[in-house]
Amino acid sequence: MQHKITSFEQYTETYKRSIEQPEQFWMEIADSFEWRQTWDKVLDWNFKEPNVKWFLNGKLNITENCIDRHLESNGDKAAIIWESNDANEPNRTLTYNELHAEVCRFSNVLQNNGIEKGDRVCLYMPMIPELAIAVLACARVGAIHSVVFAGFSSQSLSDRINDSECKVLVTADGLYRGNKTVGLKEICDEALQSAPSIHKVIVYKRTGQDINMQLGRDVWWHSEMTKAAKEFEAVEMDSEDPLFILYTSGSTGKPKGVVHSCAGYMVYTYYTFLNVFQYEADDVFWCTADIGWITGHSYIVYGPLLNGATTVMFEGIPTYPDAGRFGATSDKLQVTKFYTAPTAIRSLMASGLDFVTPYKLDSLKVIGSVGEPINEEAWFWYHDHIGKEKCPVVDTWWQTETGGILISPIAFVTPTKPTFATLPLPGVQPVLVDAQGVELKENNVEGLLCMKFPWPGIIRTTYGDHERCRQAYFGTFDNLYFTGDGCRRDEDGYYRIIGRVDDVMNVSGHRLGTAEVENAINEHPFVIESAVVGYPHEIKGQGIYAFVIVDKQSIENGLVDTDPMQAEGAGVDNSLHLLNIAAFENEVRNIVSKIISPIAKPDKIQIVSGLPKTRSGKIMRRILRKIAERDVSNLGDITTLLDPGVVDEIKKGAGL
């Protein structure tokens, strides 16, 4: 733990050195890992192409650093503690020795099923230790894992499998989520009807529900494991070989496959975990995210294991069996560091203190937040009632593309300020620019958040389409990585993230593109066109508001009605009209669930006859956002609209 920063003076000094001599700085950290062969150059980069390479020609396997190197001194230490969805089911603990054996076994299973270095493997699984085992086994055989969050629909799953041509799919019969069971294998079967690259499906038995096993294609996890040896020599990887792909939404088109590479990601997640959470050997670290998201990759699996920590994996949801689950679990497992999302904090807040006060929460030392801006009220509630006013709140800002945390307090070291992610970690060089890309150098400014120098965990490419990576992140401003976030820097140089400035929504901490949701809504046969925006939502941070143009004929047929009071024969059968609108909205939500995921369902649907468009046909989302926010005091210039009248109509329809 020689790289741990323990005072603010040390932070200032370390930060300065990391900026003045970045290569030297990161080299010293990289030195503490096991390498098969060390690098011959620390960094090669330009943001123009972009081309970023760290630790060039180094050879390693990340799993030797996550597991093997801890075995001698810490083989019997708990690596993973698993908490079931069912609060009464006993915990499962895997020591580092056991994790090693399981990962090696599953590496053999992958190899026995035709997986070689460089192949893509899709993981669509419940939050069970086998997901972490599968992730690590992919890394051990040199395969590229692509974890797809198990809340995504069959179509989202097949899109992701096809984009990176995965050869093997690892899944389970089903998963538990609160009092529900989800038939994962059934969803996979549907997805596989249009995912021809998959030649083997490995199925873990979790729920025991009835499923179809296709002969020759589908095999059981348990029977494959019993056939497999428990030793597996890790495959040697180059520093810059891809480690994984993780799909994330952008402002245009389909989700992009963000690619991270082996060495840089390893060094960066190790370092940020150690410092931000001030890792100590006896910590029980609990990150409540799902491994289907970047937070789970970096701070359930890789970051903690690289440090030899004990990491908690939770299968369930915060509100099952009741809203006291976080407190109960934290007390039971004696959790020391807790990392969750503002949306979970707000939903606990809404449930009331009755679900908090029964728990001691006295094992907690650091509490963290990630995924969306944390509002002041939630920050204080978290600090006072979960952290009992003694735990620093680390508001960590980062993205799928950044691999690890970039701007955050270092626990006990950085003085915190509610709603501020505070200061950049060592090696991170943020800049704020105006819309023209001119740097705003002073303090007390608001601008677009960019990075002017690479850190080891930065995105390398978007799978199969490097140009898309360039355009999305490096094409907006010369020589800068553009985050898509708006940000304020205050008089102390502290950063406060305001939120996305592009067409990306953040719903309960999940990133969703407006275009993605619109495309799904447009699949409804009555829908001609739609426009979707995010609006402030008390629990979810942002909710989804959909403005939908419906085919005239459908309205005339009485299937839906924009305004029942004015419908022909008003007063005759308004209930029928209302019912039909409700039914239509339901169908729209179902379509979105089916095409993307239930997390993308619109909260509000308003039927409109037109959308505010410029003469060139671009939807003016700014206006729709204002209407969705119910703040129409300043709609800005609407005279450039093709049909300014439509704005009044939409306002009226929204009851404004």
* CA–CA distance, 474 with 481 (Å, rounded to integer): 5
- Please, which residue, 108 or 542, has the CB nearer to ligand WTA? 542
Interface stretch with ligand WTA, choices 225-233, 353-361, 459-467, 483-491 (CB under 6 A): 483-491
Classify residue 361 by its DSSP letter: -
Residues 90-102 as b/e (b if ≥16 CB within 10 A, e otherwise) read eeebbbbbbbbbb
| Count of residues touching ligand WTA (by CB under 6 A) | 23
User: Would you give the binding string for ligand WTA spanning residues 402-441, x where CB under 6 A is met?
Assistant: -------------------x--------------------
Cβ–Cβ < 8 Å for 3, 14: no
* CA–CA distance, 272 with 455 (Å, rounded to integer): 11
* CA–CA distance, 378 with 375 (Å, rounded to integer): 5
The residue type found at 211 is: I
Q: Residue 297 CB, nearest distance to ligand WTA (Å)?
A: 10
Interface stretch with ligand WTA, choices 11-19, 90-98, 180-188, 495-503 (CB under 6 A): 495-503
- Please, which residue, 156 or 506, has the CB nearer to ligand WTA? 506
**Interaction of residue 294 with ligand WTA, rule CB under 6 A:** yes
User: Tokens in use for 636?
Assistant: 């800005």
Q: Residue 299 CB, nearest distance to ligand WTA (Å)?
A: 9
**Interaction of residue 397 with ligand WTA, rule CB under 6 A:** yes
Interface stretch with ligand WTA, choices 107-115, 279-287, 291-299, 343-351 (CB under 6 A): 291-299
In this chain, which of 239, 295, 343, 542 binds ligand WTA, going by CB under 6 A? 295
Token pair 């993605």: residue: 516
**Interaction of residue 255 with ligand WTA, rule CB under 6 A:** no
Query: What is the number of residues in the chain?
Result: 656
**Interaction of residue 473 with ligand WTA, rule CB under 6 A:** no
**Interaction of residue 303 with ligand WTA, rule CB under 6 A:** no
**Interaction of residue 497 with ligand WTA, rule CB under 6 A:** yes
Interface stretch with ligand WTA, choices 141-149, 262-270, 496-504, 560-568 (CB under 6 A): 496-504
**Interaction of residue 511 with ligand WTA, rule CB under 6 A:** yes
* CA–CA distance, 81 with 76 (Å, rounded to integer): 13
Q: Residue 513 CB, nearest distance to ligand WTA (Å)?
A: 12
* CA–CA distance, 188 with 186 (Å, rounded to integer): 5
- Please, which residue, 123 or 294, has the CB nearer to ligand WTA? 294
- Please, which residue, 308 or 534, has the CB nearer to ligand WTA? 534
**Interaction of residue 495 with ligand WTA, rule CB under 6 A:** no
Q: Residue 434 CB, nearest distance to ligand WTA (Å)?
A: 19
Cβ–Cβ < 8 Å for 153, 595: yes
**Interaction of residue 272 with ligand WTA, rule CB under 6 A:** no
Q: What are phi and psi of 370, to 5 degrees?
A: -155, 150
User: Would you give the binding string for ligand WTA spanning residues 212-251, x where CB under 6 A is met?
Assistant: ------------------------------------x---
**Interaction of residue 268 with ligand WTA, rule CB under 6 A:** no
Q: Residue 370 CB, nearest distance to ligand WTA (Å)?
A: 5
Q: Residue 382 CB, nearest distance to ligand WTA (Å)?
A: 12
In this chain, which of 373, 427, 447, 454 binds ligand WTA, going by CB under 6 A? 373
The residue type found at 7 is: S
* CA–CA distance, 180 with 648 (Å, rounded to integer): 43
**Interaction of residue 398 with ligand WTA, rule CB under 6 A:** yes
* CA–CA distance, 375 with 393 (Å, rounded to integer): 13
* CA–CA distance, 137 with 43 (Å, rounded to integer): 28
Q: What share of the chain is helix, strand, coil (3-state, %, to 5)?
A: 35, 25, 40
**Interaction of residue 508 with ligand WTA, rule CB under 6 A:** no
Interface stretch with ligand WTA, choices 67-75, 351-359, 464-472, 479-487 (CB under 6 A): 479-487
Q: Residue 647 CB, nearest distance to ligand WTA (Å)?
A: 28
Contact partners, residue 311, CB within 8 Å, separation at least 6: 79, 80, 81, 285, 286, 287, 300, 301, 304, 305
**Interaction of residue 484 with ligand WTA, rule CB under 6 A:** yes
Cβ–Cβ < 8 Å for 314, 333: no
Cα dihedral: 326, 504, 53, 296 (round 10) = 10
Contact partners, residue 506, CB within 8 Å, separation at least 6: 371, 372, 499, 500, 512, 534, 541, 542
Cis peptide before 321 (omega within 30 of 0): yes
In this chain, which of 263, 284, 370, 393 binds ligand WTA, going by CB under 6 A? 370
**Alpha-carbon separation of residue 265 from 32, 53, 262, 456 (angstroms):** 15, 11, 6, 6
**Interaction of residue 64 with ligand WTA, rule CB under 6 A:** no
**Interaction of residue 340 with ligand WTA, rule CB under 6 A:** no
* CA–CA distance, 309 with 285 (Å, rounded to integer): 7
Contact partners, residue 218, CB within 8 Å, separation at least 6: 200, 201, 203, 212
In this chain, which of 85, 400, 461, 580 binds ligand WTA, going by CB under 6 A? 400
Interface stretch with ligand WTA, choices 12-20, 63-71, 74-82, 390-398 (CB under 6 A): 390-398
- Please, which residue, 102 or 502, has the CB nearer to ligand WTA? 502
- Please, which residue, 60 or 405, has the CB nearer to ligand WTA? 405
User: Would you give the binding string for ligand WTA spanning residues 151-190, x where CB under 6 A is met?
Assistant: ----------------------------------------
Question: Which residues sit at the interface with ligand WTA, rule CB under 6 A?
Answer: 248, 293-295, 370-373, 395-400, 421, 483-485, 497, 499-500, 506, 511
